[in-house]
Amino acid sequence: MLEVVLATRNRGKIKEIREYLKDEGIAIYSLNDFPDAPEVKEEGGTFRENALKKARSVAHFTGKLAIADDSGLEVDALGGRPGVLSARFAGENATDDENNEKLLEALEGLSAEKRGASFHCVLALVEPSGQEIVVEEKCRGTIGYQKRGRKGFGYDSLFFFPPLNKTFAELTQEKKNQVSHRGKALTKLREMFKRKAQKGA
């Protein structure tokens, strides 16, 4: 069985990725299974840099295939911020609620037409041998005026997806995976795993 380590301790991301890859015959671990794994500082200027840095570190430490996700919210009216600082928008150890409140304050008074935003996901897959694959996807939406929904994590309760007339936090995991930035990137990654399985990797 193919073994993969997710380069994260974020339980929300772990749940989404495990759910998406559950039928692919893959043994999926996370950094929670490797408490001695070194912390990787996300100091890169792009999602790609951060994802590759995390995946390389975990592949080297565990000796297993590693997947790293670096994702964030890019708000048009804020010039693309918070971007790579999405998890730390309100401070180094900010909670989701604190980040959401800061975002609402930053967009206060803006009309719906000026609240456009994109969720951006980069997935890096790194093998211990050094082989690397990077995929990325985006999902367009708008930022709401108040939080809606209790599912998801991060900015999901503020990210309104017009085609479904709901925020990401109001969607089931299955539906979110069908339309989200991470879901679309995982679709690409899943096809790669299928090809690897067919080759007996």
Kindly name the residue from 69, 70, 96, 156 that is annotated as catalytic.
70
Please tell me the distance from the alpha carbon of residue 53 to that of residue 70, in angstroms, as a whole number: 10
Q: What b/e readout covers 75-86, taking b as 16+ CB neighbours within 10 angstroms?
A: beebeebbbbeb
Residue 72 near residue 50, CB atoms below 8 Å = no
The question of whether 70 is a catalytic residue gets the answer yes
Nearest one of 63, 2, 8, 52 to 27, comparing CA atoms: 2
Please tell me the distance from the alpha carbon of residue 3 to that of residue 67, in angstroms, as a whole number: 11
CA distances from 189 to 42, 121, 145, 193, 197 (A): 22, 12, 34, 6, 13
Please tell me the distance from the alpha carbon of residue 106 to that of residue 102, in angstroms, as a whole number: 6
Please tell me the distance from the alpha carbon of residue 184 to that of residue 136, in angstroms, as a whole number: 8
Please tell me the distance from the alpha carbon of residue 161 to that of residue 171, in angstroms, as a whole number: 10
Catalytic positions are 70
